[in-house]
Structure 1
């Protein structure tokens, strides 16, 4: 039996405005997001911890280069991924990314698409891997993800990635990762292996990636 309640009306009840990147509306939305970001307890704790160094994701890339990357190009802005900051602990070889998830990456109204979460994990875990191999570059060889709980959009989340030295060497890096929502609930877990190719020359990614 067909539904008597149109799906677009259901969507409208849950989805907020989705602004195009770089428009005045988007810039204002991002300003408000940044204000909220600075007030987050996790951000305050990480900034007060001397073992963590903070930078903007892809901070060492030019504006032109950023537009060619997925998370700072097609997925930029308040509609998707906003205010992505990286906190790096050199001693523990751990990176914690804190960012805002807009409703433009929903798979279902109000729920972030699993593919978007996979992108965040791949990038966050790769960021750690590339800092832990001498070549400072590499490719994803394997990525396994367990989706524990839905991640709701319109909130901040943390993406944590940690180096696993006992399963790594100079040409491969094993990484564990997870995503937690703004309440600290574990939503996604992952494990990955990154390798340094022998026959392919790749750009070395320096600090600030």
Structure 2
């Protein structure tokens, strides 16, 4: 009996010694993958690059700072304006207008709107004068304006007051075309904003649904992106002559 006890005690003592001397293995948690961070960085960079290339050229970006208070005959400024006019001429909407009966008109009456023709007609604002197209058959008018970085409210977005001014400007021009140059009086204008308008792009302003009743004229207007595919601003106007 005693021998049996001593054997068991010896076995237990040996097991304790082995446990004390044995190595402990710890399984480490695998390091968290940083693939999501790389993917997010790539997506952000790609999105920023796409935005810049879609809505502005390098010349547009620097125009805000380069062309302040420079003479009109400055070579770089003249080159920048020529680039804008070339881009305007190559817009698909301009080619479409000429194909469906619109004729380009060159009104002198726009000079009465000093905000458009003087105050905002500066580099980084409305750098080049807007162009107007008129359809005498349905009395509809289309104007194309370039709105620069100086006209922003929030970063990269044109100020709502500027959009309202541009919309009213074409409404008045449309009235002059439809009424043969007669002076008009604004009775009421209402505007609603449908989608943010990015700066440094052309916008297409269209006057439609011209309804005349005596000396009263009602019309609808909208501002669209330079492709003429998305409506940005909608408006209605009532004028009397």
TM-score (norm 2): 0.65
The one of 191, 203, 218 aligned to 1:157: 203
Residue of structure 2 in register with 1:5 after alignment:
none
Offset at residue 129 of structure 1 (A): 2.2
Q: Does the 8 Å contact 1:86/1:98 carry over to 2?
A: yes
The one of 119, 124, 141 aligned to 1:79: 124
Equivalent pairs counted in the alignment come to 175
The one of 158, 176, 186 aligned to 1:130: 176
Q: Over aligned residues, Cα RMSD in angstroms? A: 2.4
Provide the rounded CA distance (Å) in 1 between the counterparts of 2:141 and 2:124.
24
Task: Say which SS state the counterpart of residue 80 (structure 2) adopts.
Answer: helix
Provide the rounded CA distance (Å) in 1 between the counterparts of 2:196 and 2:158.
7
Structure 1 residues 90 and 74, CA, compared in 2 at 3 Å: closer, same or farther? Answer: same
Residue of structure 1 in register with 2:226 after alignment:
182
The one of 96, 105, 112 aligned to 1:45: 96
Offset at residue 162 of structure 1 (A): 2.0
Offset at residue 43 of structure 1 (A): 1.0
The correspondence of residues 49-60 of structure 1 with structure 2, limited to 5 A, is 49=100, 51-56=101-106, 58=107, 60=108
Provide the rounded CA distance (Å) in 1 between the counterparts of 2:234 and 2:89.
26
Q: Does the 8 Å contact 2:133/2:141 carry over to 1?
A: yes
Q: Which moved more, 1:77-86 or 1:119-128?
A: 77-86
- 1 or 2, which has the higher strand percentage? 1
Question: Mind listing any 5+ residue stretches in structure 2 that lack a counterpart?
Answer: 1-59
Structure 1 residues 137 and 172, CA, compared in 2 at 3 Å: closer, same or farther? Answer: same
**Are positions 1:88 and 2:134 aligned together?**
yes
- 1 or 2, which has the higher helix percentage? 2
Asked which structure has the greater CA Rg, the reply is 2
Residue of structure 2 in register with 1:101 after alignment:
147
Q: Does the 8 Å contact 2:209/2:220 carry over to 1?
A: yes
Which of structure 1's runs of 4+ aligned residues deviate more than 6 A?
none
Structure 1 residues 68 and 100, CA, compared in 2 at 3 Å: closer, same or farther? Answer: closer
